[in-house]
Structure 1
Amino acid sequence: MILVTVGTEKFPFNRLMQWVDLLLKEGFISAEEEVIVQYGSCTIVPDKVKGYFLLPTNEFQNLLKKARLVIAHCGEGTIDVLAKNSVPFILVPRSDRFGEHVDDHQIELAEVLAEQGIPIAYCPGDLARFVLSPQAVRVSKVPADSYAYASSLLDKRFGSDPAAEEPILGWQNYLFSFWQKLTVKRPIFSN
């Protein structure tokens, strides 16, 4: 069974749905293999799949355990969940250019993860190669690993109230920026 998930983002990720549909039509995914798609706000759902708008957490976890492989968007929460499981997965970053997110932070995250050896799909061919030969990988650092550390640094720098001395970026972007810098082992602040 293949599990495809796009998370809960309010922007449709129809490009990924079209890629999965193409893999099914071209036979890269066997017609006999069950494909379960959590499609969220997508307005396109591939033919011949079991589609769910959202999946309850326990049901999602059960499907992860049964899956042969996972195709997922490159969301921080999704990466945290996938890293805790041994199922092979490939990430597809959402792009601002296609109206899939507000910016390109998923592409930036994908670039950092690719340096760790995490499979990333930038085109249907990348997905096809992975589906034909999936390999489990170990994620050495996930976004959640760095949030507590980054939060403590933010508290030291700005105080415990984020509104008291608001940083230029929002907390999420600020934490993501810290996580990127920690992951690639560059200094966080330079004087």
Structure 2
Amino acid sequence: MIFITLGSQKFQFNRLLRAVDRLTASGDIDDEIFAQIGYSDYRPENYRFKEFLDRQEFSDMTDRAGIVITHGGTGAIIGALKKKKKVIAVPRRAENKEHVDDHQRQLVKEFGDLNLIYECDDCNQLGEALKKVQNMQFDSYQSNTEAYIASIEDFLKQ
């Protein structure tokens, strides 16, 4: 199953939803797809979707997925990586009114450079990205949370 998550900020990401719809309609994607579409106003015709999922629904969808396609949000990417999912991240673009700036392009590039995710900056390349990801091996995500907490505790003890 492919799970698409577009976050909960008040920006549309119709470009990505349309690309997946085209790939599904053409038969280039034949996996089950479910999308959490957020504030997008495009309504997919060839796969199931819901605007927002509660925490449990979101967790269940991520658990079921073999691949997670997401926007370039840090939380969405890290959440999928923690569950050891293959991630294709498509950054939102300011020029398409998908966000206020292009910081997601930088974030996605950093995660890609660390070999944690597959970067897909162009929705027209999404079909190829899905084919490539099937056989790719990614590095494991290592959280720094415990190191940060230990550092803060050390500081507070002083």
TM-score by structure 2 length? 0.82
**Partner SS state of residue 44, structure 1:** coil
Residue in structure 2 matched with residue 27 of structure 1 by the alignment:
27
Question: Which of the pair has more CA radius of gyration?
Answer: 1
Aligned-partner Cα distance in 2 for 1:71–1:51:
13
**Partner SS state of residue 22, structure 1:** helix
Across the two proteins, how many residue pairs are aligned to each other? 149
Give 1:89 deviation, angstroms: 1.3
Are 1:9 and 1:41, in contact at CA under 8 Å, matched by a contact in 2?
yes
The within-5 A match list for 1:1-191 is: 1-30=1-30, 33-117=31-115, 118-133=117-132, 134=134, 135=136, 137-138=138-139, 140=141, 145=145, 148=148
Question: Unpaired segments of 5 or more residues in structure 1?
Answer: 153-191
Aligned-partner Cα distance in 1 for 2:105–2:17:
18
Are 2:3 and 2:34, in contact at CA under 8 Å, matched by a contact in 1?
yes
Question: Unpaired segments of 5 or more residues in structure 2?
Answer: 153-158
Over the residues paired in the alignment, what is the CA RMSD in angstroms? 2.5
Distance 1:112 1:141, change over 3 A: farther
Are 1:3 and 1:36, in contact at CA under 8 Å, matched by a contact in 2?
yes
Task: Report the AA paired with residue 69 of structure 2.
Answer: I
Are 2:84 and 2:140, in contact at CA under 8 Å, matched by a contact in 1?
no
Aligned-partner Cα distance in 1 for 2:137–2:100:
30
Are 1:89 and 1:136, in contact at CA under 8 Å, matched by a contact in 2?
no
Which stretch shifts more, 113-122 or 3-12?
Answer: 113-122
Give 1:136 deviation, angstroms: 5.1
Residue in structure 1 matched with residue 156 of structure 2 by the alignment:
none
Aligned-partner Cα distance in 2 for 1:85–1:67:
10
Identify which of structures 1 and 2 has the higher relative contact order when contacts are C-alpha pairs closer than 8 Å and 6+ apart.
2
The percent identity for this pair of structures is 30
Aligned-partner Cα distance in 2 for 1:29–1:136:
21
**Partner SS state of residue 4, structure 1:** strand
